[in-house]
Amino acid sequence: MGNPLLGDDLGHCDGLFKLRKLFCKDRMKVLFVMVKEDFIDPMNIELLSALAKREGHETFLNVLEHNNLREEVKAIRPDVVAYSAKTGESNVMYKANKWIKSELGDRVCAVMGGPHATFNHSRMRLYEEDLRFEGEASLPIEDTQLDVLAVGEADETWPWLLRNLAKGESIHEIPNTVTRKNRRLDGKVTLKDRTNYLDDLPFLDREMVYEKTRLKTFGMRSFMASRGCPFICTYCFNVKFNQIYRGKGKTINRYSVNRMLTELEDMVRRHPTQFIKFYDDVFTFRTDEWLEDFAEQYPRRIGLPFHCLTRADLVRRDPQIIDCLKKAGIKSISMSIESGNAFIREHILKRGMSEEDIKIAFDLCHKNNINTFSNTILAIPAPIVPYPDASDFEPKAQALLDHLEGYFKVNLGTTRQDFPRGQALSTSKRKELVDRLQVMGLRHRALDYDIDSVDCNVDNRVVFGEFPELHPYPGTPVTQYTIDIGAFDGDFEKLHQNYQTESPFLCYTEEEKLQQLNLSLLALVLLVFPSWRNFTLRHLIHRKWTKAYFAMYFVAKAYLIGFKIYPMRYSFRHILRTVKESFFTELLKHSRDEGERFYEKKVNLSAPSSEVLGGPWQS
């Protein structure tokens, strides 16, 4: 029989006897690895640890930025190393895993799940695997040194994998996994049905995480009351996720109110808690029995202020949502705008909401004294309208009309008849065509689209907002769009682990990237000081003063987050420590170079900066 980890090829393992000797044990040691600390619970790791403990295994956590991976791996001698990765941070985890495999080889099983493995598994080369694409040499292949990739939901797959490893049995027949032996040439993966009954899941293992991170003393706890989102926003992986799970269970699954509150009661009893953030994609879709029950029970059983996410169009359609959340004790709410430009919002992001939806929903929150938080994406590649006096106006305008009809399937109505192909246009006709395109939301400059978005936030009196630049991630329709128009080459390995650095798109000049990056920082400042709008757009965003703008952004964010969105009480000493920690967290998010230089200085790394992208793991 072959090695269940490596298939029929025994490689440098001594066969099944050695494997059973290594893994045939009732109690395995499972080491979870994450890149850096945050102020949000890593609920994926907390759930996987709880599932592993329910199987009788021992779990550990290493945080790469603590710079003690080598010491902990040598002390723990894990049987399984597990990673949950987003695109970008996966690169850092690969580097860590290569060292672990070089030290432990077949004595450890390395597993990665999460969005990156789910949507990019066909490009991820496993341990000692000969992976290549016939006729697709241009596709980059990621060398991971992993043994198993977990695809999709892992609630049942993960315990199954641990059971088979512990017994020394084959893992290749387990659904939701990619191994050397079960990989299919067409890239498809056998998936189990979605988990439809969340109440059966164990409570999150917060203790393992809190003992190794600042979350132990941080007063905000995170929880997800549900899973799934039915909307088709193109920047989100849920579109592809729903496609691969079509016919395999419900899209939306919720904890019962009683089960959820029972876990929250246990959490509050065990850990000092001042505030709860519900991290669901959409906490509530309508005023239903679940929401009404939550509004009745939460104040009695938990009674802490909370934050949740919903959509502006849902609130406009059912204003009673706000009444129920207000009754439950909500303090702040997220309703993402994503783009203030109508063309981008509808044709590129497919948000399915109008400016009126946004206005009415935010007005309703203001009337109920609920502070608002909105995410808005900048630097989204979009069609550019030529200026009327451009010498090549006609060919550019016709190419734009062809693009609108062919790619976006826009119904141009009588525009084609009024502006026939191949005919020179008078100045007045050029201006008329430009006016029609601008009514649709099309703009002359890339920056104009971003200005529309910032203005939308300011006009709707958004209390706090984030303005990241679009980054392409595997499995999202908007990524395919950027590849189709030549703005992105499809190489995900070169992306930074965070999406708040400068734009990765080829369609922007360096000057445009500077303006976008500056505006992504200054937009939050404009929410506090809207009268600065014209001066900022005319002068500040063009300057190479990004570090100063980051400082302004950080001060505004610290104030708004601390006093408006997630208000909590701390000692002065704790506040100083939190400000310091959050400053460097934000620095890493917004600047690849500055973040890496900070970590090198902090831990005196001898490795070159390219080896510590997103935080060190070397000792």
% of the chain beyond a pLDDT of 70: 89
CA distance 308 to 314: 14
Question: What is the pLDDT at residue 133?
Answer: 65
CA distance 244 to 237: 11
> For residue 343, how many C-alpha atoms fall within 13 Å in the half-sphere facing its CB?
24
∠ CA 568-571-573 to the nearest 5 degrees? Answer: 125
CA distance 256 to 261: 9
Question: What is the pLDDT at residue 135?
Answer: 53
Residue 520 pLDDT > 60, yes or no? yes
Question: What is the pLDDT at residue 1?
Answer: 34
Domains along the chain with CATH numbers: 16-196 (3.40.50.2300), 219-381+447-509 (3.20.20.70), 393-439 (no CATH), 573-619 (no CATH)
Task: Choose between 418 and 591: higher pLDDT.
Answer: 418
Residues, the chain: 619
Q: How far is CA 580 from CA 74, 558, 574, 575, in A?
A: 31, 11, 10, 9
Q: How far is CA 311 from CA 229, 315, 350, 361, 502, in A?
A: 11, 6, 13, 8, 27
* Stretch 276-289: mean pLDDT: 97
Q: List, as one string, the DSSP characters of 40-93.
A: S--HHHHHHHHHHHHTT-EEEEEEGGGS-HHHHHHHH--SEEEEE--TTHHHHH
- Give pLDDT tens digits for 214-235: 999 999 999 999 999 999 999 9
Please tell me what DSSP assigns to residue 162.
Answer: H
Residue 490 pLDDT > 50, yes or no? yes
617 band by pLDDT with thresholds 50, 70 and 90: very low
CA distance 514 to 512: 5
Q: Given the structure tokens 């189990």, which residue do they identify?
A: 192
Helix, strand or coil, per DSSP, at residue 280: coil
Residue 19 pLDDT > 60, yes or no? no
* Structural contact between residues 304 and 317, judged by C-beta atoms closer than 8 angstroms: no
CA dihedral angle for residue 240, residue 246, residue 248, residue 250, rounded to 10 degrees = 90
- Give pLDDT tens digits for 123-137: 999 998 988 765 544
Q: Given the structure tokens 């070089």, which residue do they identify?
A: 102
Which range in 132-146, 183-197, 526-540 is most confidently predicted, on average pLDDT? Answer: 526-540
CA distance 151 to 146: 14
Residue 10 pLDDT > 50, yes or no? no
Question: What is the pLDDT at residue 25?
Answer: 73
Over the Cα atoms of the chain, what is R_g? 26
CA distance 373 to 462: 6
Amino acid at position 122, single letter: S
Residue 618 pLDDT > 50, yes or no? no
Question: What is the pLDDT at residue 154?
Answer: 86
Residue 501 pLDDT > 90, yes or no? no
% of the chain beyond a pLDDT of 90: 77
Tokens of 31: 């080491």
Q: What is the mean pLDDT of the chain?
A: 88
Residue 22 pLDDT > 60, yes or no? no
The pTM of this model reads: 0.88
Beta strands (DSSP E) in 102-255 are 109-113, 124-126, 142-146, 148-150, 177-178, 220-223, 226-227, 253-254
Of 189-193, 364-368, 415-419, 510-514, where does mean pLDDT reach its minimum?
415-419
Question: What is the pLDDT at residue 16?
Answer: 34
Question: What is the pLDDT at residue 18?
Answer: 42
541 band by pLDDT with thresholds 50, 70 and 90: very high
* Stretch 137-163: mean pLDDT: 89
473 band by pLDDT with thresholds 50, 70 and 90: confident
- Give pLDDT tens digits for 526-537: 999 999 999 999
Question: What is the pLDDT at residue 612?
Answer: 27
Question: What is the pLDDT at residue 139?
Answer: 65
First-to-last C-alpha distance (Å) of the chain:
39
Residue 9 pLDDT > 70, yes or no? no
- Give pLDDT tens digits for 570-615: 888 878 888 877 776 777 666 555 444 433 433 332 222 222 222 2
Residues 6 or more apart whose Cβ sits within 8 Å of residue 546: 514, 517, 518, 521
Question: What is the pLDDT at residue 440?
Answer: 96
CA distance 494 to 613: 10
Tokens of 474: 């595997």
Q: List, as one string, the DSSP characters of 365-399.
A: HHHTT-EEEEEB-B-----BPPPTT-TTHHHHHHH
Provide the sign of the torsion angle of the four alpha carbons 561, 563, 564, 569, taken in this order: positive
* Stretch 157-168: mean pLDDT: 95
Residue 556 pLDDT > 80, yes or no? yes
H/E stretch holding 301: helix 289-301
